[in-house]
Amino acid sequence: MASSKIILAAICIASFYLSASFAFPGHHEGAYPVGNSGLSPDYYKHTCPQADEIVVSILKKAIAKEQRIAASLLRLLFHDCFVQGCDASVLLDDTEEVVSEKNAIPNKNSIRGFEVIDEIKAALEEACPHTVSCADTIALAARASTVLSGGPYWELSLGRRDSKTANMKLANKNLPPPNATLHRLVKFFQRQGLDKVDLVALSGSHTIGMARCVSFKQRLYNQHRDNKPDITIEKGFYYTLVSTCPRTGGDNNLRPLEFVSPSKFDNSYYKLILEGKGLLNSDQVLWTGRDPEIADLVRSYVENESLFFEHYVNSIIKMGNTSPLVGSNGEIRKNCRRVNQEI
């Protein structure tokens, strides 16, 4: 099992760098036929063939400096696509015209990685001015972060354009909170056209990254507003968490979302859930939420990492194609933090 896992990771990484050596193709709107979504893997073939190489090069340095940034950039894709589609609205700062999604409750003091996106975008602008969108930059960074962490490679359709608006109200409505019940999680994903397989597979993104104590403290001290802990937490794991996250204070203390291999994209996340060692309520309820279909998927991913990778790729492609702006809709921002007329 271990050897097959290593071989699979090697194949994925080799495929990634083979792709990077040819870069990601592309074209101007209307120059070539594209899929039903208006996106194509060949989108930058003639206008910025080195786009993916640029993204990978910067990310390798950023991840070497701070491993956590891989998970942060992957999370940006989720928090972008779940709010009015994959349009880079999550990157917009507050202005007189824009109320930033960064200040929404699920995002404030939580989502991060904006400086790395800025660095990537600046390099893309220098190489291929006014060509690669911020929305595609997020998508490219999410894939590279996954692969550089040992996860699967997927063919990425490109051609998303950038929104001129943000929607903080929709961010508060559409982004699942860490204490969500399984029923609510299913509803949040259904709202995006995603099913139960997508929910379980994409939750596996929590195999890398960190979470603040405030995200799971309720489970430790007041799960059902009765001043008692969540009884589904494995006892030894509970005491470990309490030592990091006291009842009062320490809200910004960090814990790995998956402590066995927190910087490696693998199926350990699901193994821990089966043991009662899921960190967030939204993690653990995949197993304890009394949904046989979802529980079976968790068990399947524990037993077969390749199946997890296969489902993950299908689901993240599906999510990444959510309501993209294409053609003449939106714009190609020069600065991902501001719409063009404000620059």
CB 74 within 8 A of CB 145: yes
Residues in the chain: 343
207 marked ligand binding residue: yes
Q: Is 79 a catalytic residue?
A: yes
101 marked ligand binding residue: yes
Give the alpha-carbon dihedral of 321, 324, 328, 330, to 10 degrees: -150
CA dihedral sign of residues 68, 69, 73, 74: negative
Residue 257 and residue 263: Cα distance in Å, rounded? Answer: 10
Return the closest-CA partner of residue 135 out of 161, 153, 100, 167: 161
Return the closest-CA partner of residue 37 out of 160, 141, 156: 160
176 marked ligand binding residue: yes
Residue 35 and residue 196: Cα distance in Å, rounded? Answer: 25
CB 178 within 8 A of CB 280: yes
CB 125 within 8 A of CB 334: yes
CB 339 within 8 A of CB 92: yes
CB 196 within 8 A of CB 293: yes
Three-state secondary structure call for residue 49: coil
CB 188 within 8 A of CB 54: no
Q: Of the residues 27, 28, 46, 79, which is catalytic?
A: 79
| DSSP-derived secondary structure for 204-256 | GGGGS-EEEGGGTHHHHH-TTSSS---TTS-HHHHHHHHHHS-SSS-TT-EEE
Residue 209 and residue 147: Cα distance in Å, rounded? Answer: 14
| C-alpha angle 223-285-267 in degrees, rounded to nearest 5 | 130
118 marked ligand binding residue: no
52 marked ligand binding residue: no
Give binding residues for heme b as ranges.
Answer: 206
Binding positions for substrate: 176
Q: Show which residues are catalytic.
A: 79
Which residue numbers belong to the known binding site? 80, 83, 85, 87, 89, 101, 176, 206-207, 266
Query: Which residues belong to the annotated binding site for Ca(2+)?
Result: 80, 83, 85, 87, 89, 101, 207, 266
